[in-house]
Amino acid sequence: MKNSTSLPSASARRAESHRQAGVLAHRARRWDAAVQEFERATELAPRDALMWMNLARSRMALAQHVPALEAAQRACELDPASAVACRMAAELALQLARPADALRVLQALSDDAPRDHDYYNALGNALFQTREPRRAVDAYFQALTLKVDSAIVHYRLGLCFMDLKMDLEAAQCFRTAISLDDGSTRALALSLVVQTNRQACEWQQDAEDTRALLEAVDRDDPETARLLLPFALISIESTPQQQRRLAERRVAGLTSHIVPLPAPGPRRPGRIRVGYLSSDFYHHATAVLMTELLERRDTSGFETFLYSHSRADGSEIGRRVRAACEHFVDIRDIGNCAVANRIREDGIDILIDLKGHTRDSRMELMAYRPAPVQAAYLGYPGTTGAPFIDYMIGDRVTMPLSHAANYTEQIAQLEGCYQPNDAARPLPPCPPRAALGLPDDAVVLCCFNQTYKLSPHMLDLWSRILAGAPRTVLWMLDWNPHARQNLLRELAARGVAAERVFFADKLDLASHIARLRAADLFLDTWPCNAHTTASEALWAGVPVLTVPGETFASRVAASLVAACGLADLACQSEADYVELATALANEPDTLRGIKTHLDVNRRSLPLFDAERLARDMDALLARMHERHLAGLAPQALAAEQ
């Protein structure tokens, strides 16, 4: 460290005396006393980087992360060659969801400063969180050249490969991390090795990996369980209780350091202020679904704020969603505590998280309790496990009141289907089947779900349907070459010839909906259904066949078909699913009748009535607000009809 020599010797001695007293207090775990001593030392020696470093450490011990970051950044400014100060500031910035600040600090480290494994690991983390996965890969490889057996770096390298759609490489990284660690990193990697292998339809170790993951969830080890990723349970055969338990532990680990803001003052008069928190206000499925709902809300009774940590993509959907609301607040480079204070200053009455336990979520900032009523909606199909989220918004099918024990939140039911849909979405004419590479005389069974939702068991069921209906073909999305090859092999092993299996390239939304119209029946998956994909199929006039389970994610398609007047397409069992699919495939006139129902009634079906859903949502939010104003605790809000 470079210490200033320009201070009067008496001041320098007093500063050093306070520093030593602070060190003793810190070692004795008397954090408050340590902070006081180090603050006094920085007042006496404001240009001494060591004093600021010590202050940062003690503030960290008190979970004063924002002041700790300020102290660490000051140390970096005073000593640009200090790798220790640089790394501490970067790690604090990342913890505060300020990756751009972390990247600036790391890149400002002087050229002559040593760069070790920890430096490159932090650099990779900052680059990954600023959405530069290719550069992050380079940083992580640098870290591995210095410490090849670093489990956490292998894990994070796997995350980069996931972002780059390199699923096999990602899975190998996660397996390496599991082999190198038996603690926290192993838990993290376990969460994702199942998903990445499923993305590539590599199922050889699927049963073993799934069992290991669920055993880790069930084990009475909160420290390990809190590191597992709740999203990993959505697509595997897990119980609602397992999903809740894991979500609760995960949230506890993410928010244990957060102290809620003081109770708010008196509410300002005026419209109900609703805030939405998300990173998906661009051309993303969430924005595609929500835009018309926001456009049709009651602006006389509600004032809406979007708190966005989204990337700007210049899309029409991004433009529409911004224009639909009175306020758009870019929080990408603002830390969680500062965002919470901004939300409080904005006087938000109801804050709604649209991310849950998905990538880039900042749900944990709601632990500051910036709004008196807080809810979860749409983005994550399961409980958040968050004690600071009062309500989860669903409907009578996805969240029956009898499932209350599955959720930490109070159930808030909309009258119709919970999923919003945009009636302005495109509906181009269907191209000829020949142009799509499909046979004209076949019954086309399709599934455009992501491959991580597929499983050997689903292929067993589909193979039975194909065997029972000889005129059928199976049409799926070509997600990646590995998945395509593996699916063909797995289907062949079940007696399905390659000539009966067709793959479709990824297309823009309009072109995708146009080609969807060539399909006759959409075969859904479980325990994770088609969600947006199912409503796209129904919009295109393609009936969806599903089997609802006990979890939210497994009940979405049942809600969607019910909102189209096709509740009978939600089968009661797997046997019924196979029987009905086979019967429909062998009775093309019946199937055409269902397709005609969707085509003729499209504009009047409740699923695509955004005006109706907007009034329903307004009424539900008003009920939440009224309970709060009356001093009543949150309680289950059943659909009123």
Residue 458 has pLDDT above 80, yes or no: yes
Q: Any idea how long the chain is?
A: 641
Structural contact between residues 599 and 605, judged by C-beta atoms closer than 8 angstroms:
no
Burial of 509 (0-12, 13-18, 19+ CB in 10 A): middle
Sheet holding 410-414, edge to edge: 327-330, 302-308, 272-278, 350-353, 373-377, 391-395, 410-414
CA–CA distance, 443 with 471 (Å, rounded to integer): 6
Q: Give the position of tokens 């998945």.
A: 483
Long-range contacts of 39-44 (CB under 8 A, 24+ apart): 40/15, 41/15, 41/16, 42/71, 44/7, 44/11, 44/12, 44/14, 44/15, 44/18
What is the per-residue pLDDT across 468-523, written as a single tens digit (0 to 9) for each? 999 999 999 999 999 999 999 999 999 999 999 999 999 999 999 999 999 999 99
What is the per-residue pLDDT across 333-360, written as a single tens digit (0 to 9) for each? 888 999 999 999 999 999 999 999 999 9
Domain boundary assignment for the chain: 159-258, 272-414, 433-608
Please name the residues in contact with 21: beta carbons below 8 A apart, sequence gap of 6 or more: 37
CA–CA distance, 351 with 476 (Å, rounded to integer): 38
CA–CA distance, 417 with 419 (Å, rounded to integer): 6
List Cα–Cα distances, 230 to 206, 238, 247, in angstroms: 18, 11, 6
Residue 183 has pLDDT above 60, yes or no: yes
List Cα–Cα distances, 516 to 422, 467, 479, 533, in angstroms: 17, 23, 16, 10
Per DSSP (E only), the strands in 247-341 are: 272-278, 302-308, 327-330
Residue 288 has pLDDT above 80, yes or no: yes
What is the per-residue pLDDT across 96-134, written as a single tens digit (0 to 9) for each? 888 999 999 999 999 999 999 999 999 999 999 999 999
Residue 4 has pLDDT above 70, yes or no: no
Quickly list H helices, 587-634. Answer: 588-601, 610-629
CA–CA distance, 132 with 30 (Å, rounded to integer): 40
Structural contact between residues 490 and 460, judged by C-beta atoms closer than 8 angstroms:
no
What is the per-residue pLDDT across 245-284, written as a single tens digit (0 to 9) for each? 999 999 998 999 899 999 999 998 999 999 999 999 999 9
CA–CA distance, 254 with 243 (Å, rounded to integer): 17
The rounded radius of gyration (Å) of the Cα atoms in the chain is: 27
Pair of tokens at residue 351? 């804050």
Ramachandran bin of 525, using left for φ above 0, alpha for ψ from -120 to 50, beta for the remaining angles: beta
Query: How high is the pLDDT of residue 228?
Result: 87
CB atoms < 10 A from the CB of 497, how many?
A: 11
Three-state SS at 163:
helix
DSSP one-letter string for 546-584? B---SSGGGTHHHHHHHTTT-GGGB-SSHHHHHHHHHHH
Structural contact between residues 139 and 120, judged by C-beta atoms closer than 8 angstroms:
yes
CA–CA distance, 298 with 570 (Å, rounded to integer): 33
What is the per-residue pLDDT across 132-166, written as a single tens digit (0 to 9) for each? 999 999 999 999 999 999 999 999 999 999 999 99
Residue 224 has pLDDT above 80, yes or no: no
Beta bridge partners of 637: 412
CA nearest neighbour of 157 among 103, 186, 121: 121
Pair of tokens at residue 576? 């019924």
Residue 539 has pLDDT above 60, yes or no: yes
Query: How high is the pLDDT of residue 6?
Result: 53
Mean pLDDT confidence for 588-609: 97
Beta bridge partners of 376: 353, 392
Query: How high is the pLDDT of residue 8?
Result: 58
Mean pLDDT confidence for 28-54: 90
Pair of tokens at residue 638? 């059943």
Structural contact between residues 382 and 243, judged by C-beta atoms closer than 8 angstroms:
yes
**Mean pLDDT of all residues in the chain?**
94
> How many helices (DSSP H) and strands (DSSP E) are in the chain?
26, 12
Mean pLDDT confidence for 300-309: 98
Residue 641 has pLDDT above 70, yes or no: no
Query: How high is the pLDDT of residue 34?
Result: 86
Pair of tokens at residue 614? 């907007």
CA 264 to chain centre: 29
CA nearest neighbour of 238 among 551, 559, 453: 551
The count of C-alpha atoms lying within 13 angstroms of the C-alpha of 636, restricted to the half-sphere facing its C-beta, is 15
What is 272-414's CATH number?
3.40.50.11380
- Span of 83-97, 270-284, 288-302, 404-418 with lowest mean pLDDT: 83-97
Amino acid code (one letter) for 15: A
Three-state SS at 274:
strand
The count of C-alpha atoms lying within 13 angstroms of the C-alpha of 126, restricted to the half-sphere facing its C-beta, is 26
- Span of 81-85, 232-236, 269-273, 439-443 with lowest mean pLDDT: 81-85
Query: How high is the pLDDT of residue 7?
Result: 45
CA–CA distance, 344 with 263 (Å, rounded to integer): 10
- Span of 34-43, 200-209, 325-334, 534-543 with lowest mean pLDDT: 34-43
Ramachandran bin of 226, using left for φ above 0, alpha for ψ from -120 to 50, beta for the remaining angles: alpha
The count of C-alpha atoms lying within 13 angstroms of the C-alpha of 113, restricted to the half-sphere facing its C-beta, is 20
List the end-to-end C-alpha distance of the chain, in Å, as a whole number.
69
Structural contact between residues 398 and 413, judged by C-beta atoms closer than 8 angstroms:
no
β-pairing verdict for 521-523 and 544-545: parallel
What is 433-608's CATH number?
3.40.50.2000
* Fold match, 272-414 / 433-608: yes
User: What is the rounded (10 degree) CA torsion for 91, 93, 95, 96?
Assistant: 170
Structural contact between residues 628 and 372, judged by C-beta atoms closer than 8 angstroms:
yes
Containing 69, the helix (H) or strand (E) segment is helix 65-78
Mean pLDDT confidence for 289-313: 96
Three-state SS at 473:
strand
